[in-house]
Amino acid sequence: MTKLTLGSHPYMLGFEQLERLLERSAKSGNEGYPPFNIEQTSQGSYRITLAVAGFGEDDLSITVEDRQLVIRGRQNDDSEHRVFLHRGIAGRQFQRSFVLADGVEVGEALIENGLLHVDLTRAQPETVVQTIKIKKG
């Protein structure tokens, strides 16, 4: 029996790009830092929340690149001027990527109490009915 992939299924025409996006997101290996939540806030809106304790507004950047939401964090390392008796708080850089579907737009982002919130909205597409004329051959 032949295994069907999304791009080779006979009723799924033109979905090769979706299959590539799924493969790319599976290979991104976001290792789990920082932890995050994704919640649906209404029928057409979502919120991604990342735990970014210790990062300030200037340490974070949010971009949309090729239908991917990319959130990066980089702290200035001032540890050379400090003497730690114990260092248990990680201050490392990170990058988190989220693949966005067509029609999903990034709204506002805000940081409060060590949590970065990024709001997303999805517009409802209009239903389009198209009639195709049949020509005599």
Q: Kindly report, residue by residue over 31-87, the tens digit of the pLDDT.
A: 688 999 999 999 999 999 999 988 999 999 999 988 899 999 998 776 678 888 998
Asked if the structure places residue 98 within a domain, the reply is: yes
Clarify whether residues 64 and 10 are in a common domain: no
Asked if the structure places residue 133 within a domain, the reply is: no
Using 50, 70 and 90 to split pLDDT, how confident is the model at 131? very high
Asked if the structure places residue 88 within a domain, the reply is: yes
**pLDDT (tens digit per residue) in 26-45:** 665 556 889 999 999 999 99
Provide the CATH number for the domain around residue 47.
2.60.40.790
Tokens of 102: 């067509």
Q: How far apart are CA 73 and CA 34, in angstroms?
A: 10
pTM for this prediction: 0.71
Predicted local distance difference test score (pLDDT) of residue 137: 79
Q: How far apart are CA 54 and CA 93, in angstroms?
A: 11
Clarify whether residues 62 and 104 are in a common domain: yes
